[in-house]
Amino acid sequence: MESAARRYFGPGSVIYCMAQTPHLILRTLQHLSPAPSAQQREIMRNSDDYYPDVPESHGWHVYCNMANALWSRQLDSRLAGDWDMFQPGKKESHLHAAA
């Protein structure tokens, strides 16, 4: 996966989707250079899964994204959270769009 990410997205670009585990968070932090650079960004998984047909899951999905975004920015300001997704036109889509 890492070699494919380097090939198609460039050196230093690694995509970890569908996982937010301690070893992947550490690995993401290790990819950041010691000297802060505005050009360097790392994307890490930031949320629980999106379940469009489970209405009670939407608030939790937005909450997890928000909490993890705040937490990950404290680890390093160059981390960008992947807020997963939502589907326009669904009853709860306004909640996800506002977040």
Dist. CA 48–CA 81, nearest whole Å: 12
- At 89 the pLDDT is 80
- Residues of the chain with pLDDT below 70 are 1-2, 12-19, 36-38, 84-85
- At 2 the pLDDT is 64
**CB 30, CB 67: distance < 8 Å:** no
E strands, 1-99, in order:
42-45, 79-82
> Which one-letter amino acid corresponds to residue 31?
H
Model pLDDT for residues 13-27, shown as the tens digit of each residue: 656 556 677 777 787
- At 53 the pLDDT is 85
Total-model pTM: 0.63
Q: Which residues of 36-58 are buried (b: 16+ CB within 10 A; e: fewer)?
A: eeeeeebebbbbbebebeeeeeb
Dist. CA 67–CA 62, nearest whole Å: 9
- At 1 the pLDDT is 62
